[in-house]
């Protein structure tokens, strides 16, 4: 429960600066990693998505929410896309691709889905911060999107992400936000390749809301 007495002493007039400082911090992080994402990895991901019969999206927690947003845009582009775990998600086949999002590359639910996809001879796209992770090692297409880093902090993902050195971007915030923006870039590229515009995409947008 929130301590209301403590809130009375809070100067909310200063909170706008905190909000803007946080936004600048995230933007700086994204800018610092744009050129570090390999062009070949981006091209391979786009080719893999376009040649798949069905696209499946898998992520846990906030990474899963980022994946859902990406899935919506792929649907708008008229691609056959599904979110793992939904009741209407069909079987995965050798013609399909699984897009996984995991900062650590060690999330149990994501690894389980990736193993099933590999067992069924499909392709796995991994978006993670760690190229040496289990998920990265089993992927067919690997895109490294860095999350929070700090010199002198353990290489353990959990310890690194929970290290309290940045009050503005806790835990996996930077990875998740960076992924969101990266995937928006993928959508823009697919729009160009497929010659799809906003008008066509809007026609596919949900109307039962």
What's the structural domain count of the chain? 1
Single pTM value for the model: 0.85
Q: Residue 58: which of 125, 154, 147 has the closest Cα? A: 125
List pLDDT tens digits, range 50-60.
999 999 999 99
Using an 8 Å Cβ cutoff, are 122 and 97 in contact? yes
Using an 8 Å Cβ cutoff, are 165 and 137 in contact? no
For strands 55-59 and 81-83, give the pairing.
parallel
- Across the chain, mean pLDDT equals 87
Tokens encoding 105:
């590359």
Any domain includes 175:
yes
Any domain includes 7:
no
CATH of the domain at 138: 3.40.50.10490
Structural domain of residue 170, as residue ranges?
A: 13-202
Any domain includes 169:
yes
Any domain includes 131:
yes
Any domain includes 1:
no
Share of the chain above pLDDT 70, in %: 82
Residue where the block lists tokens 């699984």 = 98
Q: Residue 97: which of 55, 61, 126, 63 has the closest Cα? A: 55
Any domain includes 207:
no
Q: Which residue has the higher pLDDT, 206 or 88?
A: 88
* Positions marked catalytic: 176
Q: Residue 60: which of 109, 99, 129, 105 has the closest Cα? A: 109
Instruction: Quickly state the pLDDT bin for 6 (edges 50, 70, 90).
Output: low
Least confident of 3-7, 108-112, 200-204: 3-7
List pLDDT tens digits, range 122-164.
999 999 999 999 999 999 999 999 876 433 344 555 555 544 4
Q: Is the pLDDT of residue 165 over 60?
A: no
Any domain includes 115:
yes
pLDDT value for 35: 86
Least confident of 141-145, 168-172, 205-209: 168-172
Provide the H-helix boundaries in the chain: 4-8, 15-34, 39-51, 61-76, 108-119, 134-138, 157-162, 173-194, 198-203
pLDDT value for 167: 67
Any domain includes 3:
no
Q: Is the pLDDT of residue 184 over 60?
A: yes
d(CA 154, CA 146): 15
């Amino acid at each position: 429960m929130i301590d209301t007495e403590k809130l009375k002493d809070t100067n909310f007039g200063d909170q706008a600066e905190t909000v803007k400082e946080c936004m600048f911090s995230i933007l700086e992080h994204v800018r610092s990693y744009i050129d570090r994402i390999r062009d070949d990895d981006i091209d391979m991901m786009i080719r893999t998505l376009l040649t798949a019969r069905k696209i499946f999206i898998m992520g846990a927690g906030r990474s899963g929410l980022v994946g859902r947003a990406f899935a919506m845009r792929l649907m708008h582009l008229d691609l056959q896309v599904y979110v793992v775990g939904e009741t209407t998600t069909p079987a995965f086949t050798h013609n399909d691709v699984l897009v996984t999002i995991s900062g650590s590359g060690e999330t149990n639910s994501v690894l389980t889905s990736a193993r099933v996809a590999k067992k069924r001879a499909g392709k796995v796209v991994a978006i993670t911060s760690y190229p040496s992770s289990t998920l990265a090692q089993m992927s067919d297409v690997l895109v490294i999107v860095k999350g929070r880093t700090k010199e002198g902090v353990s290489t353990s993902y959990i310890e690194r992400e929970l290290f309290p050195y940045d009050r503005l971007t806790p835990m996996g915030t930077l990875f998740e936000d960076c992924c969101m923006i990266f995937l928006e870039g993928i959508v823009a590229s697919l729009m160009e390749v497929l010659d799809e515009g906003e008008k066509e995409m809007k026609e596919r947008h949900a109307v039962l809301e």
